[in-house]
Chains A and B, each alone.
With several copies, the nearest count.
Chain A
Amino acid sequence: MVKLAEWRGKEIFRKYGVPLPPGRVARSPAEAEQWVRDGSVPLPCVIKAQVLAGGRGKGGAVRFANTPEEVRAAAEAILALEFKGERVREVLLEGKLAIGRELYVAITLDRSARVPLLLTSSQGGVEIETVEDSAIVRQPIHPFPGLAGYEKRRASQSLGLTGAASKALSLLLDALWKAFNAEDAELVEINPLAVVGEGLVALDAKVIIEDDAAFRHPEYSEIRDDRTPLEEIAREKEIAFVQLDGNIGVIANGAGLTMATLDVLMEFGGHPGVFLDLGGTDDPAKVSEAFLLMAQARPRAVFLNIFGGVTRCDTVATGLVQAMGQIPPAERFPLVARIRGNNEVEGIEILRKAGITALSSLKESAQSVVAAAQGPPPAGGRA
């Protein structure tokens, strides 16, 4: 899941022909000022922080300016922000337009019907989650013939567009449909889509690219995301690793089992801090690597939950013991292991020899790790 910042989403929109306001990206106040001085961005203009979090308008991350000096000052202020935990690295400058109505258009996936879904609403400019279902028109688009003319006409109708504006929508939807498919997007969203005179202009851009199609899109591999630094490392190592708010690290094999382990911990009063799914790996080196990554998250305690089905418990245990030896004593943490399945006895023995207690009951082991996490804190900080 690669969430693109507004300006990157708009670069994609431009490539496929979605109409945009005149705009430029700036990485410094001086650059921002230059874009208006050289006429690249007309005045008055809007200056927007390029962050992934929503709610920029209310958070002071969007400002307006009428003169080059105001542009510089606004850019300076925004570039100094840390917005909902994200440092602002770029601002997008765009000429202000005489906006009529604000609409909503998006293409996403309908998982149940297994088709792309075109969403339109005449209530644009607000978070779509706050719009009533009845005010959103949903049209499934069959992937084979693709977006049909009659579907675009229905979209026009739903948005109350006629004449030239309806034709503009038709072209815009074609562009959006192409972008959705050619860029392997999960979501392409324009909110608001502004009616400007007889035309349409995308005032914002939300584009999410699918991770699994990365082999077709090397151009997205370098784009920063809302992943944490550790999640970023995990991604490069192809480990399913998610940082959460708690302090107990969970390693399990299989996404379902890892999720279930978090659930059990929560039920017994624990606070999961890391979700780490080993997947189907058998390889002690890989297990070891995953475990060292976990250590970097500085958990108060770690819970290893393995069901050896396709994988073998003993190889997982071997990797684990190898990794434990590499963790500096100051960074060590209590470890509770629960191992079931293939070569369970051998796995438990390997852990026992390394001084790690392994239980076979999920309930007991969960209770035990929750107790451990409530003990004295380790040398470092929280997970």
Chain B
Amino acid sequence: MSVLVDVDTRVVVQGITGHQGSGHTLQMKLFGTKVVAGVTPGRAGTQVEGVPVFDSVQEAVDRTGANASCIFVPAPFAKDALLEAVDAGIRLVVIVTEHIPFHDMLIMYHYAKERGTRIVGPNCPGVASPGKAKVGIIPNVVFRPGRVGVISRSGTLTYEIVNGIRENGLGQSTCIGLGGDPVVGTSFVDALPWFENDPDTDLLVLVGEIGGTAEEDAAEYIRQHFTKPVVAYIAGRAAPAGKRMGHAGAIISRGKGTAQSKQAALEAAGARVGRFPFEIPDLVSEVLRERGRR
């Protein structure tokens, strides 16, 4: 078992003929993912990295049985790409595209949710479960199969932490990058139950950042429902109020969304919160040792 993706995941790449789309199609395949189709309107009949390209997601689904999508199309067209995926019956959509207007995402989120399609992202690295499948852009090299689950709002920082876990001799069950936008398809609170119920996950790493109250919501969920150990890191202690720190969602506004508030909430919920990213892999090892899992 794993979270969101597994060996039955069959990926269609929307925007496969672009630079990012084609490059990451190769990487997903190298990870072992079944990338079965690509979509770029007007490019049907061609191939990218050995993957057949179709004009529409519906055709891709009909012809290849695709059940997950990875969206690389530019922001102005992302809403349409998502609607197309949902209407074609795709159940998991990872949106890598950044700079999607949040007003578009509000529509995308509710449209998908009401039809039972799960969105991860936008502006996110995606989902990977080593040995099974990857939908997104997390670098393959940082992974190795194991029993640590990871949920994160950032990209590179997560790669670094996941890599550190690997270097410490451990591996990951599933890693989900939620994305740094204010409106995301999957939040910590959405993803926590999956890891709670995943028999392959022993411990969860939560990587948060300033802005919003997603980490506080997560802490409340952890306090009430989550039984596995949690190690957390929150980026942005040094960020001033009112400035967007790279991510559209990373902003302390009107006194809400500080790193301090998030750290305190997670600590109160029993999580071990690291001060430095490089502490996290060590904390993971330590907690697992304490619990006798290692």
Direct contact of A and B (CB under 8 A): yes
A111, B183: Cβ atoms closer than 8 Å = yes
Given contacts A111-B212, A256-B207, is CB(A213)–CB(B156) below 8 Å?
no
Instruction: State whether the Cβ of B152 lies closer than 8 Å to any Cβ in chain A.
Output: yes
Count residues of A near B (Cβ-Cβ below 8 Å): 62
B39 to chain A, nearest CB (A): 9
Q: List, in ascending order, chain A residues with CB within 8 A of B264's CB.
A: none
Cβ-Cβ contact count across A and B, 8 Å cutoff: 204
- Stretch in A38-46, A262-270, A318-326 touching the partner: A262-270
Q: List, in ascending order, chain A residues with CB within 8 A of B171's CB.
A: none
Instruction: State whether the Cβ of A371 lies closer than 8 Å to any Cβ in chain B.
Output: no
Q: List, in ascending order, chain A residues with CB within 8 A of B248's CB.
A: 211-212
Instruction: State whether the Cβ of B202 lies closer than 8 Å to any Cβ in chain A.
Output: no
- Stretch in A6-14, A140-148, A195-203, A373-381 touching the partner: A140-148
What does the 1/0 interface line of B175-217 toward A look like (CB < 8 Å)? 0000010110001000000000000000000010110111001
A252 to chain B: closest residue by CB: B156
A317 to chain B, nearest CB (A): 16
What does the 1/0 interface line of A1-36 toward B look like (CB < 8 Å)? 100000000000000000000000000000000000
B281 to chain A, nearest CB (A): 12
A257, B238: Cβ atoms closer than 8 Å = no
- Stretch in B78-86, B265-273, B286-294 touching the partner: B78-86
Q: List, in ascending order, chain A residues with CB within 8 A of B153's CB.
A: 256
Instruction: State whether the Cβ of A88 lies closer than 8 Å to any Cβ in chain B.
Output: no
Q: List, in ascending order, chain A residues with CB within 8 A of B163's CB.
A: 307, 309, 340-341
B77, A149: Cβ atoms closer than 8 Å = yes
Given contacts A145-B107, A267-B275, A307-B160, is CB(A255)–CB(B240) below 8 Å?
no
B99 to chain A: closest residue by CB: A212
Q: List, in ascending order, chain A residues with CB within 8 A of B105's CB.
A: 114
B240, A340: Cβ atoms closer than 8 Å = no
Task: Tell me which of A143, A216, A309 has the highest count of chain B C-beta atoms within 10 A of its own C-beta.
Answer: A309
Partner pick for A266 among B55, B107, B237, CB 8 A cutoff: B237
Instruction: State whether the Cβ of B63 lies closer than 8 Å to any Cβ in chain A.
Output: no
Instruction: State whether the Cβ of B116 lies closer than 8 Å to any Cβ in chain A.
Output: no
Given contacts A255-B247, A362-B277, is CB(A244)–CB(B240) below 8 Å?
yes
A258 to chain B, nearest CB (A): 6
Instruction: State whether the Cβ of B232 lies closer than 8 Å to any Cβ in chain A.
Output: no
Q: List, in ascending order, chain A residues with CB within 8 A of B104's CB.
A: 213
A363, B109: Cβ atoms closer than 8 Å = no
Q: A111-B182, A259-B250 are in contact. List 5 more A-B contacts (CB 8 A).
A: A112-B217, A142-B110, A256-B235, A260-B235, A362-B277
**A residues at B contact (CB < 8 Å):** 1, 109, 111-112, 114-116, 128-129, 142-145, 148-150, 153-154, 157, 162, 181, 184, 186, 210-213, 215-216, 240, 242, 244-245, 252-260, 262-267, 272, 275, 277, 279-280, 307, 309-310, 340-342, 361-363
The 6 closest A-B pairs by CB, nearest first: A256-B154, A255-B246, A254-B156, A256-B157, A149-B80, A309-B139
